[in-house]
């Protein structure tokens, strides 16, 4: 933890969470100093079992649950419910992404929870939101990507492809996080809690706004273009003699410089078939043929050198090993060690840096590691039994 102020120190979050969306929201709150009490069944958040790649622990769980306290409760029991109500009665935030209707069956729906604690910020993350024909429909990340139209614009012309990370969960968790921060600010003025609802479909729908506008008012949907940009050319991957490089041209000045300094064929820039981005997109096969004639004979290092010298945006196609060794992250000191039941784990620090406030990187908890301590603070004891999700 840094020496600077933790802006959410003193804020307590109780989370009935599982998988990705809610844990991502609460982990970001924990990074800023909030006390996050994670309620688990005796077998734990099922994300603990997604894989065993991190010294026997799941990569998903390690990513999403540092700095939290794990408390195992049986919410089918009166005692477990009493503990949950006691925690909620003094918490600042309640976060839940249980199955639709589950939190109401626990007696902690929005109205009941705020009657118990009027300053509570009650936050629910669901697949499709309350009401409507999809309210009870199961929602997994890939399925929400489908429903939001993401797979219609992601992939190749021959086949759609899912985004390689849990993007629907991540964006829903991000909106829950920012919504909670806004509600905490509002509460400091009004003195009242709030009820927040975030659906994965609506969160991802916000991120799909540009292709929506393009299709709704342009008369046709964006085409799936693989790793190429659907509406800018050249923009995407190009083969070199020993690898692949990515670059993108944003305007006509860059196009001219690219042809002159990178391709070293100024005549390409004056080809009428490439006069303006719209024509370059329309004639992309011929455009790529002319570019490949030059780049395929050059090593990637030389292509990248020319692109950098010409001021053309470019990137190296990195795998996870390359990313782990990225020189920019190393130079900016973005890695820290985080404790866990499996030992210290190298982790990225939060992406926002501040001159005034800091962050914490507490341990990843074992299942029920903090149950005894939290119950003792409440003056209660309980055997470890199962949470009904």
**Domain extents for the chain?**
12-208+327-377, 250-311
User: In the CATH hierarchy, which top-level class contains the domain 12-208+327-377?
Assistant: alpha beta
What's residue 384's pLDDT? 46
What's residue 230's pLDDT? 85
Instruction: For the chain, 389 residues long, give each residue's pLDDT as a single digit of tens.
Output: 446 899 999 999 999 999 999 999 999 999 999 999 999 998 899 999 999 999 999 999 999 999 999 999 999 999 999 999 999 999 999 999 999 999 999 999 999 999 999 999 999 999 999 999 999 999 999 999 999 999 999 999 999 999 999 999 999 999 999 999 999 999 999 999 999 999 999 999 999 999 999 999 998 888 888 898 988 999 999 999 999 999 999 999 999 999 999 999 999 999 999 999 999 999 999 999 999 999 999 999 999 999 999 999 999 889 999 999 999 999 999 999 999 999 999 999 999 999 999 999 999 999 999 999 999 999 987 654 444 44
Pseudo-torsion of CA 27, 32, 37, 43, nearest 10°?
A: 20
- CA 237 to CA 97: how far, in whole Å? 39
229 catalytic, yes or no? yes
What's residue 3's pLDDT? 61
Task: Compute the chain's Rg from CA coordinates.
Answer: 25
What's residue 30's pLDDT? 98
pTM (2 decimals)?
0.90
Nearest to 167 by CA among 148, 152, 181: 148
Q: Are 243 and 322 in contact (CB under 8 A)?
A: no
Q: How far is CA 346 from CA 32, 54, 127, 363, in A?
A: 19, 10, 32, 12
What's residue 389's pLDDT? 47
Identified catalytic residue from 79, 122, 229, 370: 229
């Amino acid at each position: 933890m840094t020496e600077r102020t933790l802006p959410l120190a003193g804020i307590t979050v109780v989370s009935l969470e599982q998988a990705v969306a809610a844990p991502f929201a609460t982990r970001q709150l924990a990074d800023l100093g909030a006390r996050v009490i994670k309620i688990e069944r005796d077998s734990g958040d099922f994300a603990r079992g997604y894989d065993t790649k991190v010294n026997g622990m799941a990569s998903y769980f390690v990513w999403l649950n540092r700095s939290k306290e794990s408390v195992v409760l049986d919410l089918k029991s009166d005692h477990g419910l009493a503990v949950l109500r006691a925690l909620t009665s003094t918490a600042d935030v309640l976060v839940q992404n249980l199955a639709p209707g589950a939190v109401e069956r626990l007696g902690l729906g929005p109205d009941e929870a705020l009657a118990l604690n009027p300053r509570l910020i009650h936050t629910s993350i669901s697949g499709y939101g309350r009401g409507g024909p999809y309210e009870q429909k199961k929602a997994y990340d890939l399925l929400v990507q489908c429903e939001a139209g993401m797979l219609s614009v992601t992939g190749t012309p021959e086949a759609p492809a899912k985004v390689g990370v849990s993007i629907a969960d991540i964006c829903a968790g991000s909106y829950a996080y920012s919504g909670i921060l806004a509600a905490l600010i509002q509460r400091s003025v009004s003195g009242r809690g709030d009820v927040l609802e975030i659906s994965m479909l609506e969160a991802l729908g916000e991120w799909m706004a540009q292709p929506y506008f393009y299709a709704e008012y342009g008369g046709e949907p964006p085409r799936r273009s693989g790793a190429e940009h659907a509406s800018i050319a050249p923009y995407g991957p190009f083969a070199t003699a020993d690898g692949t490089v990515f670059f993108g041209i944003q305007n006509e000045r860059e196009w001219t410089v690219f042809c002159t300094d990178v391709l070293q064929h100024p005549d390409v820039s004056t080809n009428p078939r490439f006069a303006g981005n719209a024509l370059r997109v329309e004639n992309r096969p011929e455009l790529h043929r002319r570019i490949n004639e030059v780049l395929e004979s050059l090593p990637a290092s030389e292509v990248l050198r020319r692109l950098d010298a010409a001021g053309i945006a470019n990137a190296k196609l990195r795998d996870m090993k390359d990313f782990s060794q990225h020189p920019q992250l190393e130079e900016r000191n973005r890695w820290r060690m985080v404790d866990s039941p499996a030992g210290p784990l190298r982790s990225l620090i939060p992406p926002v840096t501040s001159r005034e406030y800091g962050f914490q990187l507490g341990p990843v908890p074992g299942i029920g590691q903090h149950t005894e301590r939290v119950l003792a603070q409440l003056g209660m004891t309980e055997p470890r039994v199962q949470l009904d999700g």
